[in-house]
Chain A
Amino acid sequence: MVAAQTKLPMQVSHVKSTHMTENTDHTQLCEWLKEVAENRCKISFTHLFKFFAPKIQRIARSKFPNEAQAHEVVQDTMSNVWRKAHLFDANKGAATTWVYTVMRNVTFDLLRKIKNNREDNLSDDIWPIAENAVTEDHSYEDHLENKQLLRVIEALPVTQQEVVKGFYLMEMSQEQLATHLNLPLGTIKSRLRLALVKMKVQLGEEHD
């Protein structure tokens, strides 16, 4: 095997690109997810469904004794993909990783329901769907405020997130953002305004 000898050392610094194989079209999957998130595109969702559902079904069949439960896993996982697609962030990892997380969480909650007769759906607390991949946090208290704010931002539609993150976290000006995202200044302003209204509602509820 000549190939083995000339193989490049594996990258370990960046989680995202380390173990990708070439067989799955990750870019395509990301685009479909983005279409679902931004345009509620049913055609893209159908593509995602055709790619993932049969695989989820087979994996679920190995964990649950009957077909009906396997179907429940497919149904719940794919409807979470439909309803939570805006929480997927292509910069933080592959689409397959994200869908796996959604499927694993659905499976965990269903198994717990069957085994322990509890419907407390703890999985999203154990493995948050929209958490930052790696945080530098070393205490709960110090960064609590920040973390809360981030979660509220993560819950925004992707188009608004870009603007809010650029403006508040990267401290870009509205003009810089317009150039950076290749959008009219008016669009940046209105997205920012919409996002702020939503965030105020969310943050306000928390501090009541």
Chain B
Amino acid sequence: MIKHHPKFELIQSYVNGELPASLSIGITLHAELCSVCQQKIAQLTEQVAERSFDELSNPLLNELSKLDFESDITDDDFFDSMIDDITDSNDIDTFAEVMPKQVIFKDKSYTLPSALNNISMGKAANIGKLSRARLQLDENEIHSNLLHINPGGGVPEHTHKGFELTVLLDGSFSDDRGEYHKGDFIMLDGSFTHNPISEKGCLCYTVANDALHFTQGINKLLNPIGSFIY
């Protein structure tokens, strides 16, 4: 049962196309498993579309179109040639359906959701019960990974300065706030400290914009893991 969903503002920016690819993908992964959020996204998209294209319900658009009147005359020629250009070809787009991607973490094989089909993935690196494969999205300080935790493994108690998003693709894990299941969308900000443990193992999609910082005694020695996971 999914209990954690993206908050409204995030869904709104997602629909507007204003989020980085990494976070957009996170919401798509969640929504594929969550009919509640699917419904919200569909409704918001419809509203935004209506507002965008309706002159009368969009006074700004209306005003602009009056101001633009003169330049629109030159636009007409430009637009006419664009129409010819576009309709010149009779090709239609068909789907080149691709086989879903498989990943293997410690001899367990997973079928990846189609949202990840075209993202190149680095080789998995391992530390103890943790494995991570970097997703090559190239978004500067924002890093995205697939993180796999073997049964009985966990991430030592840590905090971070930025945000940390985890979408559970398979399995479950828990921290002091409770248990998380397949499909949960868990967004934490910098002020949070936690220590997730996965009894039966799990596969997560993670996004973070800063390295993790380990907070307790001996685990401080593990701070290299912080950069490993980030």
Contacts and interface: CB of A to CB of B under 8 A. Distances in A.
Q: Is A bound to B? A: yes
B79 A126 contact: no
B142 to A, nearest CB: 10
Interface of A: 15-16, 18-21, 23-24, 40, 42, 45-46, 49-55, 57-59, 71, 74-75, 78-80, 82-87, 93-94, 96-97, 99-101, 103-105, 107-108, 111-112, 116-118, 120-123, 125-128, 130, 133-141, 144, 148, 151-152, 154-155, 202, 205-206
A78 B92 contact: no
**Interface SS of chain A: helix, strand, loop or mixed?**
helix
A192 B98 CA distance: 24
A126 B57 contact: no
Interface string B142-153: 000000000000
B45 A82 contact: no
30 contacts: A15-B42, A18-B43, A23-B55, A23-B57, A42-B83, A54-B75, A55-B52, A57-B75, A58-B61, A83-B89, A83-B91, A83-B93, A97-B50, A99-B49, A108-B21, A116-B139, A117-B138, A126-B21, A126-B24, A127-B28, A134-B42, A137-B32, A138-B33, A138-B183, A140-B32, A141-B111, A144-B100, A144-B111, A148-B97, A206-B98
Interface of B: 15-17, 21, 24-25, 28, 32-33, 35, 38-39, 42-43, 45-50, 52-57, 61, 64-65, 68, 72, 75, 78-79, 82-83, 85-87, 89-95, 97-100, 111, 113-119, 137-140, 182-183
A192 to B, nearest CB: 18
User: Which of B33, B53, B97, B183 has the largest number of chain A CB atoms within 10 A?
Assistant: B53
Contacts of B118: 120-122, 125
B53 A24 contact: yes
B147 to A, nearest CB: 18
Which among B54, B56, B91 has the highest number of chain A CB atoms within 10 Å? B54
Nearest to A93: B46
A102 to B, nearest CB: 10
Q: Could you say which of B55, B83, B119 has the most chain A C-beta atoms within 10 Å of its C-beta?
A: B83
A18 B72 CA distance: 34
A138 B15 CA distance: 22
A74 B85 CA distance: 13
B35 A135 contact: yes
A116 B144 CA distance: 14
Contact of A126 (B35, B68, B115): B115
B56 A136 contact: no
B49 A97 contact: yes
A20 B116 CA distance: 34
A206 B54 CA distance: 41
A155 B46 contact: no
